[in-house]
Amino acid sequence: MESRNPLLAVDNLSLEFRTRTGVVKALENVSFEIEKGQTVGVVGESGSGKSVMSYAIMGISDPAARITSGRIVFGGISLFEKSGQELQEMRGREISMIFQSPRTALNPIRTIGSQLEDVIYRHSSFRGRQIRGRALDLLNQVHIPDPEKRYHAYPFELSGGMCQRVMIAIAISSNPWLLIADEPVTGLDVTTQAAIMDLIKDAARERNMGTILITHDLGLAAEYCDRIIVMHSGHVVEVADTEHLFMRPRHPYTAKLIGATPNASRDLAELSSIPGNLPDLRAELPACRYSERCEHLKEDCLEPPLPRLETEAGHLVACRYPL
Amino acid sequence: MKGDSLLLIGRRLLQAAPVVMGIIVVTFILTRALPGDPAVFFAGPAADEKSIAEIRASLGLDKSWPEQFWVYLQNLARGDLGKSISTGQPVMEEIATRLPASLELTLMGLLLAVAIAIPLGILAATRPNSFVDHLCRLVVTIGVSLPTFFTGLFLVYIFYFLLGLSPAPLGRLSIIHISPDHVTGFYLIDSLIAGDLEVFRAALSQMILPASTLAIFALAPLARMTRAAMLGVLSSDYVRTARASGLSSRTVLWVYAFQNAMLPVLTTLGMVFSFLLGANVLVEKVFAWPGIGSFAIEALIASDYAAVQGFVLAMALMYVLLNLAIDILYTVVDPRIGLEG
């Protein structure tokens, strides 16, 4: 029974922000699933709704955000049916999240040990000295050298990579089922990036933990993810297994994204850029939000509904005329 | 970490020394550069050249400025600020008896302001555009737009003249009460030490109006800063992390948001306190409060230069001590200080 249920199912999720200048339709009919132990990449340029979606899953959306339709089902239970208290207890215990710029993501005037303890105290039955033991154990697990000494360090005394390790320690402290990593290595140097990504991968494998890796780096997603979700201005435009996606992208946007990603076998001169910008999400939008930038635009592309074709098993594309 | 902050506090103390020296020099020069000759003033209208010269010599004013400064320093070291012309008392003694009155009033005003402004600011920040938020905005506007002497007179008019709820605005205690034995100089504390609840109540009822006047003045910057700092902190990355970690709303608000938001509020608090020392001068006048503010006004009117010099020196020293205290508090609260400084 349980094995047939996905770990997380986002089903037709629409979300908008009510702002002074109008309603921003930040997500529209977003659907995807994640299995246990699976690593799923969410890629797309800035403003495509990657972070908004992950905050919605965490239940920490901005107060101005309204979910207008859809469901988020986690472990077979709809999250919207849970009380605020229940959701709060789930966060950090069953679903965890780590963020970009780890140095500002930690409380600047609290030692990393205390911050780790706060979360352990909240989610475990450890008390008193056990908490410290558990915290040190976690710092060891994320390979922080000399954890006894670092325990009393403040975030500003540690490097960005170290801070991200602490963030990971906090996130995995209760062995969650799902980890959302929102641009976890952006802004870190390349060797640190690899180390942090390996750490996340190992932590996920040991715990059979589902992972959502949000990134704008297609190369990174290709290296670490089983499956990739491509987002464009609040729509999921393509979902496929990593190999499939790179071998045969079906959505014009995905193809452009891959064409814009540097790799070893390609000259810099061959890199293409994607024309145009993301549309203004406050305006009336055509069914396909990529239409304005699309080279293969046909007249009926603007007419609703936005199709969701399964071109082959497990390969979904939101385009009427897939490549 | 502990040893570091002690070292830091020591360094801050050392840094304060040249500032104090500067204050002494400036007050000395300022009073000498003021128009008017104290010797003429002392000698009275009927004096001739000779008696003025004698008085000038007795005051030491015939010596050169460096010499006078040396004498002034020596006197200072002995705690001698000279004699007040208008009261005939040593300035040091005047200040020593009046300073506690001013301090008690100022601190009470500040305490009241903090007790109202900080919860108000937090409530306003956690519930944007709610009733509390609008109330906060209203209070801030009132606080910045009303001058203290007006608020003072207005409160006296309402609560003493119209409603008769508070006693006559005539100093720290009405004449039927005897001031408590001097321990701290703060009537509220001294009366409690003496165990005299009736005097405590009387002193408190005298203090409520002037303290409220100061509090209304101090409320505005504090409430505004608390609200702004809380809003900033609540949208910070680390509060988002705390929420994403499922920490309880209470922990997020108090341990993660509030403690960080208090850093700028602390700075504002120091500033507000020094504003209050200035605002005190007028409030003391309105409420016939026997503090150093009213003393300074009288001294200024009477060209009583030793008294003015003593007042300026005392106030400046208090500013320095206050800033020192805030700095030290800051190093205790914010671990990032030390290394950057």
Q: Mean pLDDT over residues B285-297, rounded?
A: 88
In this predicted structure, the answer to whether residue B30 has a pLDDT above a threshold of 70 is yes
Q: Which residues in B lie closer than 8 A to residue A118 (C-beta atoms)?
A: 242, 245, 247, 251, 255
Give the pLDDT of residue A2.
44
Q: Which residues in B lie closer than 8 A to residue A108 (C-beta atoms)?
A: 238, 260, 336
A36-65 tens-digit pLDDT: 999 999 998 888 999 999 999 999 998 889
Residue A313 lies in a domain: yes
A interface test, pick of B243, B245, B248 with most A CB neighbours within 10 Å: B245
Interchain contact B246–A (C-beta under 8 A): yes
Top pLDDT among B35 and B191 is at: B191
User: Which residues, at least 6 apart from A259, have a Cβ–Cβ distance to it below 8 Å?
Assistant: A271, A272
For residue A151 the two structure tokens come to: 């325990």
Q: Which residues in A lie closer than 8 A to residue B335 (C-beta atoms)?
A: 109, 154, 156
A256-302 tens-digit pLDDT: 888 888 776 767 777 778 878 888 888 888 888 888 888 888 888 88
Please give the residue of chain A at the shortest CA–CA distance from B333: A109
Helix boundaries (H) for B287-304: 292-301
Residue B283 lies in a domain: yes
Q: How far is A220 from chain B (nearest CA, A)?
A: 24
Surface of B (200-239) touching A: CB under 8 A? 236-238
Percentage of residues in chain B with pLDDT exceeding 90? Answer: 30
Cα distance between residue B332 and residue B1, in whole Å: 10
Contact B256 A109 (CB under 8 A): no
Q: How far is A98 from chain B (nearest CA, A)?
A: 8
Surface of A (126-165) touching B: CB under 8 A? 152, 154, 156
Cα distance between residue B71 and residue B84, in whole Å: 17
What pTM did the predictor assign?
0.84
A150-194 tens-digit pLDDT: 999 999 999 999 999 999 999 999 999 999 999 999 888 889 999
**Residue closest to A183 by CA, chosen among A117, A102, A77, A86:** A102
Please give the residue of chain B at the shortest CA–CA distance from A101: B237
Q: Mean pLDDT over residues B53-73, rounded?
A: 82
Q: How far is A122 from chain B (nearest CA, A)?
A: 6
If one counts the domains in chain A, the total is: 1
A/B interface, count of CB pairs below 8 Å: 77
Give me the interface pTM, i.e. the ipTM: 0.90
CATH of the domain at B115: 1.10.3720.10
Q: Which residues in B lie closer than 8 A to residue A99 (C-beta atoms)?
A: 237, 240-241, 244
Neighbours of B338 (CB within 10 A): 14
Q: What is the domain range of residue B233?
A: 101-291
Contact A105 B238 (CB under 8 A): yes
If one counts the domains in chain B, the total is: 1
B interface test, pick of A118, A154, A156, A178 with most B CB neighbours within 10 Å: A118
Q: What is the domain range of residue A88?
A: 2-94+174-317
Contact B244 A96 (CB under 8 A): yes
Interchain contact B256–A (C-beta under 8 A): yes
Contact B246 A122 (CB under 8 A): yes
The band of B3, judged by pLDDT with boundaries at 50, 70 and 90, is low
CATH of the domain at A294: 3.40.50.300
Residue B299 lies in a domain: no
Contact B242 A122 (CB under 8 A): no
Give the pLDDT of residue A98.
94
In this predicted structure, the answer to whether residue B253 has a pLDDT above a threshold of 90 is yes
A122 vs B236, B241, B247: nearest CB:
B247
Residue B89 lies in a domain: no
Residue B74 lies in a domain: no
Contact A104 B244 (CB under 8 A): no
Lowest mean pLDDT among A196-205, A221-230, A300-309: A300-309
Give the pLDDT of residue B280.
87
A interface test, pick of B4, B130, B241 with most A CB neighbours within 10 Å: B241
Interchain contact A101–B (C-beta under 8 A): yes
The band of A143, judged by pLDDT with boundaries at 50, 70 and 90, is very high
Residue B189 lies in a domain: yes
The band of B2, judged by pLDDT with boundaries at 50, 70 and 90, is low
B interface test, pick of A86, A89, A99, A109 with most B CB neighbours within 10 Å: A109
Interchain contact A186–B (C-beta under 8 A): no
Identity at A125, one-letter amino acid code:
S
B335 vs A101, A104, A154: nearest CB:
A154
Interchain contact B6–A (C-beta under 8 A): no
Collapse the DSSP code of B83 into the 3-class scheme (helix H, G, I; strand E, B; otherwise coil) and give the result: strand
Interchain contact B330–A (C-beta under 8 A): no
Distance of CA B239 to the CA centre of its chain: 35
Residue A120 lies in a domain: no
Q: How far is A87 from chain B (nearest CA, A)?
A: 8
How does the average pLDDT of chain B come out, rounded?
86
Q: Mean pLDDT over residues A308-320, rounded?
A: 88
Interchain contact A106–B (C-beta under 8 A): yes
Pairing of strands A77-78, A315-317: unpaired
Give the pLDDT of residue B312.
86
Top pLDDT among B165 and A154 is at: A154
Interchain contact A52–B (C-beta under 8 A): no
The band of B105, judged by pLDDT with boundaries at 50, 70 and 90, is very high
Top pLDDT among B294 and A147 is at: A147
Give the pLDDT of residue B338.
60
Q: Which residues in B lie closer than 8 A to residue A60 (C-beta atoms)?
A: 240, 243-244
Lowest mean pLDDT among A62-71, A93-102, A292-301, A314-323: A292-301
Interchain contact B3–A (C-beta under 8 A): no
Top pLDDT among B68 and B58 is at: B68
A241-250 tens-digit pLDDT: 999 999 999 9
Residue B313 lies in a domain: no
The band of B340, judged by pLDDT with boundaries at 50, 70 and 90, is very low
Interchain contact B184–A (C-beta under 8 A): no
Contact A118 B247 (CB under 8 A): yes
Give the pLDDT of residue B20.
86
Lowest mean pLDDT among B39-53, B119-133, B175-189, B254-268: B39-53
Q: Mean pLDDT over residues B261-290, rounded?
A: 89
Lowest mean pLDDT among A34-43, A307-316, B106-115: A307-316
Pairing of strands A309-312, A315-317: antiparallel
In this predicted structure, the answer to whether residue B74 has a pLDDT above a threshold of 50 is yes
Residue A121 lies in a domain: no
In this predicted structure, the answer to whether residue A111 has a pLDDT above a threshold of 60 is yes
In this predicted structure, the answer to whether residue B82 has a pLDDT above a threshold of 90 is no
Top pLDDT among B33 and A37 is at: A37
Residue B32 lies in a domain: no
Neighbours of B130 (CB within 10 A): 12
Q: Mean pLDDT over residues A183-212, rounded?
A: 92
Interchain contact B73–A (C-beta under 8 A): no
B300-333 tens-digit pLDDT: 877 777 888 888 888 888 888 888 888 888 877 8
Residue B201 lies in a domain: yes
Q: How far is B238 from chain A (nearest CA, A)?
A: 4
Q: What is the 3-state secondary structure (H, E, C) of chain A?
A: CHHHCCCEEEEEEEEEEEECCEEEEEEEEEEEEECCCCEEEEECCCCCCHHHHHHHHHCCCCCCEEEEEEEEEECCEEHHHCCHHHHHHHECCCEEEECCCHHHHCCCCCCHHHHHHHHHHHHCCCCCHHHHHHHHHHHHHCCCCCHHHHCCCCHHHCCHHHHHHHHHHHHCCCCCCEEEEECCCCCCCHHHHHHHHHHHHHHHHHHCCEEEEEECCHHHHHHHCCEEEEEECCEEEEEEEHHHHHHCCCCHHHHHHHHCCCCCCCCHHHCCCCCCCCCCCCCCCCCCCCHHHCCCCCHHHHCCCCCCEEEECCEEECCCCCC
Q: Which residues in A lie closer than 8 A to residue B249 (C-beta atoms)?
A: 88
B238 vs A108, A123, A171: nearest CB:
A108
